[in-house]
Structure 1
C-alpha cells in the first residue's frame, strides 16, 4: 500500500528468520511493517520449554533451517532434533537473540502481535521492559500505537495467540495476563476484556482503527465480534478507499 509516498508492508510468519524483514522492506520500499504473528520470539533458553510436538512443527515450517537439514531432522527422533538445534539455536531456531543483543537491527519500525508458536517467557520480558529491540513494537491488549500515514491517522490494536475455546480462562505458564506454555501461546478472555478497555480509553473519531490479530476473524466469530466492539468496522465504513482496503486486509488476513 502507498499513500503520499509512504508504504506499509503487511506480512506474517517470519518464524525467526528476522533478517528477511529488512530484505522485504527494501524490496517493497516500505516505511513500516505490520506483522501478524509467529514472529520467532525464542532464544537459547526457550528450547527446553518447547514441547516435542511444537518443536517438530517449528522444524517442519522453518525457513532458517537449510532444506537438506530440515529433511533430515523431519525424519529424526526428537532427541536428535533438540541436540542439533542446541548446537546453534540462533541459526536454526530464531535470529531473535541477535536483534536483542544489537548485533543485528531492524531498519524500519515493525509492529507485531505474537503468534501461536512463541515463548511466553520472552513476551513477558518485553512487557516488563527487561527486553527491548529498537524499531520493534508489540501490539497487545494493554497498548495501542498511532501511525501517521500520509495524513491518515491509523490506530493499531493487537491481539496475539491462537483462539482456543477451552483455554479462554487458562493462563498456562503465564504469570500476568499473557497466556502460553510449552512453546505456544493463546488468547484469554482477560486479554480481550483489557483490549476493550484500552480501545475505549483512546477513542478518537478522527482515527481509523485497525485490529491486528494472529487468528483470522474470518474463521473465529469471537474476533469478528470483538472488531465490532472496538469500533473497527464502524470506522472502516467512514474512511477513504485506501484506509478501507488496508483495514479490510489486516482485519481478515
Structure 2
C-alpha cells in the first residue's frame, strides 16, 4: 500500500503563512470605477486617434454648417453663428455618445467582459468608469467648439457662468443618453449593427430638431415632433443659458427627459450585464 503523503517542514511553514494572511478588502465602488476609468484613459494614451471624434468633428461641423447655411438662413454668418453654436454643440456631443456602446461591444466580443463579471468588485464599476472618461471626452469637444466659436465671433450674452452651466447640462444629458448605447451593446452582436442602429436613432433626433432652424419656420405637422424632441429641449436650454434668456421650464424639461432615459436604460443595462450569456 502507498504511504500517506506527509508535508515537508517548508510546506507547513508556507501553509501557515497563507492561512494567517488576511485577505485584502474588496475595493469600494468609487475605487473600482476610477480603476476602470484609468483603463479607458490608458487605451486613449496608446491609441490617441480615438480622440479624432472629439477634436476634429466639432471643428468640421461648426465651420461647415456656419458658412454653408449662414448666408441662406440668416443672411449673415455672424448672426447665424449666435443661433447655431449652442445647437451644434448639442448635436456634436450627442452623436459621439455612441462610442460608449461601441467600446463595450468590443469588450464583449474579446471576452474581457466575462472576466470583469467574475471579479469581486461593484458590478457597475466597469460601465461607470468608462462613462466617466466619456464625460471628459465630451468636455474636450465642448471646449474646442466654444473656443472656435469665440474665434469666429460668437459671444455669449449669459457670460462665463452661462457658458459653464450650458456645458454642464450638456454633459449631464449626454451621460444619461450614453446608457441607451450600453443597453444596445448588450443586445446587438456586432459593432457595425450597433453603429447603424445608433445612427438611425441619432440622425433624426439631431437633424429634425431646432439645432439649425427655429421650429416656427417648419411645417406645422413637423413642429409637434420638434417641440418634444429631447435634443430640441436640450438645445433650447443651452441657448437660453448662453444668451441669458433661459427659463425654469426649459431646464425642467431637460432634467425630466434625462431622468426618464437614465431610469429606463441604466437598470436595463445592468440587468442585461448580469444575465448575459
TM-score bracket, normalised by the shorter chain, equals under 0.3
Higher relative contact order (CA 8 A, sep 6+): 2
Larger strand fraction of residues:
1
Larger helix fraction of residues:
2
TM norm structure 2: 0.24
TM norm structure 1: 0.25
Q: Which structure has the greater CA radius of gyration?
A: 2
